[in-house]
């Protein structure tokens, strides 16, 4: 862990010198004189006048930085206070390293380069140490035997006796000015090519970049070498080794402590060639395993690999808790044309906070959360967190069976939930103790969770996402969320999740202009800015952006066992002119208004998710008449487009029309009769879900029961009748939380459903409990009656009995299963009882029995029922040879099936 940078009054910050003791000042003065003398000698050799030797103490080490303590908690002694180490070898005044072994490699003197470790011309060197000591040198700092952990040699000085050897090796002068500047400014594309250990003529060059360090020592099994302080946090030395050691460590001394660590810049890239190829192609379907923070063991060392896509960046550095949020010493390397930057940091793991410090093309810097972060801080904090999952799944039976029947041919009734407000204050794990039992008791087959991905503003309900790969930390960790999904599966309940690939917010720490230029958003401002929500739209035409989103859809299904994705705001993606005035949008290449990039993206997403996750379903919230939303992607429609490939589509037309109808007073409903029947004109054009969602019970639209006219009894009766009609109508059902017990107030994310309405102490509790009992029975009868779901997408599964009884406010139709067994559904949406109401029925059914009546007393109704078996007579009616006579209760729906 690198210590915190010095404070503003530290010598590193403003050049002030920390007072030193007389003894230490004397040591510093001697070191400065030796350094100046060596410099003068080199200048003289080059024919240049030597500068005067300054009497000022050497400003070699910053002293204001605080660092982590060593294991023993004791600071490393200053060089002047340590006992002298055995002197094995020392360089000449020029700083040339001595040869210490007969195995030292031959030496040449290459030309210097700004971008390579610097080597000077050969100079004489002292003799080697004794044979029984490990090779030790003083090329640019101090080298001591490995068994002398605190020993040292004079840096850049002559041997104590002034002798010199005969073998010649080059002197190492450290990092070049070009590399130095790029590393200091955060614009280096290849820090690993400079830092770390590299073979050079004369041995192996070691370079470390440790801002605020007082000293750096290289340690291997055989030697310990203190690197020379080159200033600005750079340390270097040349050791006469034949090859780079397979492993070495750095002892980094800070004020008060010594850090023992692996060198992050000795590792090869931790991202494979196949990953890079797939990233370049935009086809990495498990992108989360290539980008982001991945704890791993790399080259035998435990640590975390950090990767981020930032192709426009001039440089990227890593900042986090492990370096006190100063990324200066943690530059990442560019992995070529993919635009990916990578750094493996040894010794850190899960739980660490981090961000990426990006140098933009204009030289300014921005600090960004990881777009691929799998865990985040709790908002409003914005850091990403290194995460490893430890959850063990127990839903094997559910996962094995969920693909046994396509969703459109199965019972499918959905309870829509906003997790944060269903029972405010509950965590994922606490929800796992309550939500599965509640939903199972009501008989819903699935829950649909409003967006779970991390979002900064709770008032957006999750529809403005910043952390696409992280469940919101408001309710717990990613493993806690897995625990909730697991519990729902074990209760026999499928889990759908709202997914928002249409847009993202403009927060400066998130995706917007991520690396200084439009990256995730479209480069054309008119295409990028969403006109309704003040957000940015994704650039669906960019392969890396498509990959980011397609892999995200796969991620939730694969890693969290999500059974389906309800894709939000599909219409806003499909049309270039969505909510845009003329002149504010540009037609596509064919002159049309269709967003061809978005079409291709949705097709790719659906095809990929279905292929990789058998048994899932995708659902489109699409509010227009786009052709082929639920058609297979390889089947073209009349417009020439292949289908979008969704499994189901929200029937927004049915929702708006039917809600408009029931909000009218019964006396006026005959003028709006077609609003309840028109849905059957297009009912089989797509595979539909009938949604009464959160959108319909907020922002002044009133709750479901409050939409109904009349007194409290009529409002509840109409609500019950409407739900009975909805559950019998072709299509799947979705009901938002709170509507199952006739909550009177609009929903608010700040307090959730009004559970107190079900408190037995509340006088009207029975009214609300009655509606909830009806919902439970609707689901129970529905699930046990294949006629109500088996042929939802087959026109032969539906027959009108009477669809034009506008004066009576009556609707009657048959639903039939695959064997032809019928269910008769009759809705009387007038407040009067209709006795002896005749309906034509199939002559194949000898008798009918009432199986559900929303006017039953147990639901809070007037208990007008048909308790006896009803037999048809031979009087033709409604175009059928036989008919029955029923008593239709007021504002009620009745279901009958063969007795």
pLDDT in tens, 764-815: 999 999 999 999 999 999 999 999 999 999 999 999 999 999 999 999 999 9
Separation between Cα atoms, residue 531 and residue 581, nearest integer Å = 10
Strands 732-736 and 688-692 turn out to be parallel
Separation between Cα atoms, residue 852 and residue 825, nearest integer Å = 9
N- to C-terminal Cα separation, the chain: 76
Contact 721, 854 (CB under 8 A): yes
Contact 837, 886 (CB under 8 A): yes
SS (H, E, C) 677-702: HCHHHHCCCCCEEEEECHHHHCCCCC
Catalytic member of 621, 622, 792, 808: 621
The pLDDT of residue 53: 34
Contact 108, 201 (CB under 8 A): yes
Helix axes 652-662, 712-728, angle to 10 degrees: 150
The pLDDT of residue 173: 67
Distances (CA, A) of 297 to 122, 250, 344, 347, 825: 41, 19, 10, 10, 63
SS (H, E, C) 178-201: HHHHHHHHCCCCCHHHCCEEEEEC
Neighbouring CB atoms inside 10 A of 265's CB total 22
Separation between Cα atoms, residue 155 and residue 37, nearest integer Å = 13
The residues pairing with 252 across neighbouring beta strands, listed in sequence order, are 216, 259
Strands 688-692 and 648-650 turn out to be parallel
568 is catalytic: yes
Those residues whose C-beta lies under 8 Å from the C-beta of residue 162, and which sit 6 or more positions away, are none
Strands (E), 125-248: 142-145, 168-174, 196-200, 203-209, 215-219, 223-226, 228-231, 234-239
* CA-wise closest residue to 155 among 33, 11, 26: 33
Strands (E), 809-891: 810-816, 822-828, 834-841, 848-853, 882-888
Helix or strand or coil: residue 780? Answer: helix
The residues pairing with 680 across neighbouring beta strands, listed in sequence order, are none
Distances (CA, A) of 535 to 458, 504, 694: 16, 6, 21
Query: Which two structure tokens, joined as six digits, stand for 894?
Result: 């009745």
Distances (CA, A) of 677 to 732, 802, 806, 827, 862: 17, 10, 10, 12, 27
What is the DSSP code (8-state) at residue 591? S
Those residues whose C-beta lies under 8 Å from the C-beta of residue 640, and which sit 6 or more positions away, are none
What is the DSSP code (8-state) at residue 95? -
Helix axes 596-612, 543-559, angle to 10 degrees: 30
Q: What pTM value is reported for the model? A: 0.82
The pLDDT of residue 719: 98
Helix or strand or coil: residue 230? Answer: strand
621 is catalytic: yes
Bond before 218 cis per omega within 30 degrees: no
The most distant pair of C-alpha atoms in the chain lies apart, rounded to whole Å, by 128
H helices of 585-731, in order, are 596-612, 652-662, 674-677, 679-682, 704-707, 712-728
Kind and range of the H or E run holding 367: strand 365-368
Strands 353-359 and 333-334 turn out to be unpaired
Burial of 183 (C-beta count, 10 Å sphere; 0-12/13-18/19+)? buried
Helix or strand or coil: residue 317? Answer: strand
Helix or strand or coil: residue 564? Answer: strand
Question: What b-and-e string marks burial along 714-732, b requiring 16 or more CB atoms within 10 Å of the CB?
Answer: bbbbbbbbbbbbbbbbbbb
Those residues whose C-beta lies under 8 Å from the C-beta of residue 708, and which sit 6 or more positions away, are 662, 663, 714, 715, 716, 718, 719, 722
Residues of the chain with confidence (pLDDT) below 50: 1-170
* CA-wise closest residue to 467 among 454, 479, 485: 454
Catalytic member of 454, 544, 568, 594: 568
Separation between Cα atoms, residue 692 and residue 698, nearest integer Å = 12
Report CA 461 to chain centroid distance, whole Å.
16
In sign, the C-alpha dihedral spanning 536, 542, 544, 550 is positive
Distances (CA, A) of 717 to 774, 860, 890: 11, 8, 8
Neighbouring CB atoms inside 10 A of 808's CB total 18
Separation between Cα atoms, residue 263 and residue 194, nearest integer Å = 13
Strands (E), 713-870: 732-736, 798-805, 810-816, 822-828, 834-841, 848-853
* CA-wise closest residue to 432 among 394, 466, 467, 400: 394
Separation between Cα atoms, residue 860 and residue 717, nearest integer Å = 8
């Amino acid at each position: 862990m690198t210590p915190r940078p010095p404070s503003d009054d530290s010598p590193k910050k403003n050049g002030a010198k920390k007072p030193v003791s007389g003894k230490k000042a004397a040591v510093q003065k001697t070191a400065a004189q030796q350094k100046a003398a060596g410099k003068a000698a080199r200048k003289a050799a080059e024919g240049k006048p030597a500068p005067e030797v300054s009497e000022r103490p050497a400003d070699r080490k910053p002293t204001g930085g605080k660092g982590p303590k060593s294991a023993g908690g004791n600071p490393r002694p200053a060089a002047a206070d340590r006992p002298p180490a055995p002197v094995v070898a020392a360089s000449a005044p020029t700083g040339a390293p001595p040869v210490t072994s007969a195995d030292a490699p031959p030496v040449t003197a290459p030309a210097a380069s700004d971008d390579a470790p610097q080597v000077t011309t050969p100079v004489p060197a002292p003799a080697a140490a004794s044979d029984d000591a490990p090779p030790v040198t003083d090329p640019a700092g101090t080298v001591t035997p490995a068994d002398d952990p605190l020993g040292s040699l004079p840096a850049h000085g002559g041997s104590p006796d002034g002798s010199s050897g005969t073998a010649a090796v080059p002197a190492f002068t450290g990092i070049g000015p070009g590399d130095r500047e790029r590393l200091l400014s955060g614009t280096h594309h290849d820090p690993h090519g400079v830092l770390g250990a590299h073979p050079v003529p004369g041995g192996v060059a070691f370079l470390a970049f440790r801002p605020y360090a007082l000293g750096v020592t290289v340690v291997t099994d055989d030697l310990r070498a203190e690197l020379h302080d080159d200033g600005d946090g750079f340390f270097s030395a040349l050791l006469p080794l034949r090859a780079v050691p397979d492993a070495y460590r750095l002892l980094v001394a800070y004020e008060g402590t010594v850090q023992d660590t692996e060198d992050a810049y000795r590792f090869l890239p931790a991202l494979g060639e196949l990953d890079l190829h797939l990233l370049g192609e935009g086809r990495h379907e498990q992108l989360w395993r290539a980008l982001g923070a991945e704890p791993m063991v790399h080259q035998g060392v435990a640590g975390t690999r950090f990767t981020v896509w930032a192709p426009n960046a001039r440089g990227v550095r890593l900042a986090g808790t492990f370096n006190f949020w100063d990324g200066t010493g943690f530059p990442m390397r560019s992995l070529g044309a993919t635009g990916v930057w990578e750094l493996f940091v040894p010794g850190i793991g899960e739980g660490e906070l981090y961000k990426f410090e990006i140098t933009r093309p204009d030289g300014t810097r921005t600090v960004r959360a990881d777009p691929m972060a799998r865990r985040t801080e709790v908002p409003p904090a914005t850091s990403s967190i290194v995460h490893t999952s430890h959850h063990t799944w127990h839903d094997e039976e559910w996962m094995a069976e969920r693909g046994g029947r396509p969703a459109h041919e199965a019972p499918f009734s959905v309870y829509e939930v906003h997790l944060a407000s269903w029972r405010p204050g509950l965590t994922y794990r606490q929800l796992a103790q309550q939500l599965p039992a509640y939903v199972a008791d009501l008989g819903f087959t699935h829950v649909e969770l409003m967006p779970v991905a991390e979002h900064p503003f709770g008032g957006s309900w999750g529809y403005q996402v910043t952390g696409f790969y992280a469940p919101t930390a408001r309710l717990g960790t990613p493993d806690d969320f897995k625990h909730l999904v697991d519990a729902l599966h074990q209760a026999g309940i499928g889990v759908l999740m709202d997914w928002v690939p249409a847009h993202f917010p403009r927060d400066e720490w998130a995706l917007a202009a991520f690396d200084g230029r439009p990256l995730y958003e479209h480069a054309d401002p008119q295409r990028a800015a969403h006109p309704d929500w003040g957000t940015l739209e994704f650039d669906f035409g960019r392969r890396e952006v498509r990959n980011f989103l397609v892999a995200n859809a796969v991620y939730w299904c694969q890693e969290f066992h999500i059974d389906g994705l309800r894709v939000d705001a599909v219409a806003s993606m499909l049309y270039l002119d969505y909510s845009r005035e003329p002149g504010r949008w540009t037609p596509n290449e064919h002159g049309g208004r269709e967003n061809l990039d978005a079409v291709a993206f949705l097709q790719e997403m659906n095809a990929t998710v279905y292929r990789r996750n058998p048994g899932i379903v995708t659902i489109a919230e699409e509010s227009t008449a786009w052709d082929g939303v639920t058609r297979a992607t390889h089947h073209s429609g009349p417009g020439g487009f292949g289908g979008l490939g969704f499994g189901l589509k929200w029937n927004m037309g049915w929702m708006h029309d039917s809600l408009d109808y029931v909000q009218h007073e019964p006396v006026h409903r005959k003028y709006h009769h077609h609003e309840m029947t028109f849905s059957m004109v297009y009912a089989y054009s797509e595979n539909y879900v009938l949604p009464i969602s959160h959108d319909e019970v907020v922002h002044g639209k009133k709750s479901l029961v409050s939409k109904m006219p009349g007194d409290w009894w009529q409002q509840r009766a109409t609500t019950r009748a409407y739900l009975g009609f909805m559950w019998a109508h072709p299509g799947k059902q979705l009901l938002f939380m709170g509507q199952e017990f006739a909550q009177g107030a609009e929903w608010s994310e700040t307090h959730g459903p009004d559970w107190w309405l079900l408190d037995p102490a509340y006088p009207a509790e029975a009214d609300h409990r009655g509606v909830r009992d009806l919902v439970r029975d609707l689901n129970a009868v529905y699930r046990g009656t294949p006629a109500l779901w088996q042929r939802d997408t087959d026109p032969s599964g539906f027959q009108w009995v009477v669809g034009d009884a506008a004066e009576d406010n009556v609707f009657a139709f048959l639903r039939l299963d695959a064997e032809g067994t019928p269910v008769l559904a009759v809705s009387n949406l007038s407040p009067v009882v209709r006795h002896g109401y005749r309906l034509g029925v199939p002559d194949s059914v000898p008798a009918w029995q009432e199986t559900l009546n929303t006017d039953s007393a147990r639901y809070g109704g007037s208990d007008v029922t048909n308790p006896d078996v009803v037999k048809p007579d031979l009087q033709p009616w409604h175009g059928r040879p036989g008919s029955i006579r029923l008593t239709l209760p007021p504002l009620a729906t009745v279901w009958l099936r063969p007795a």
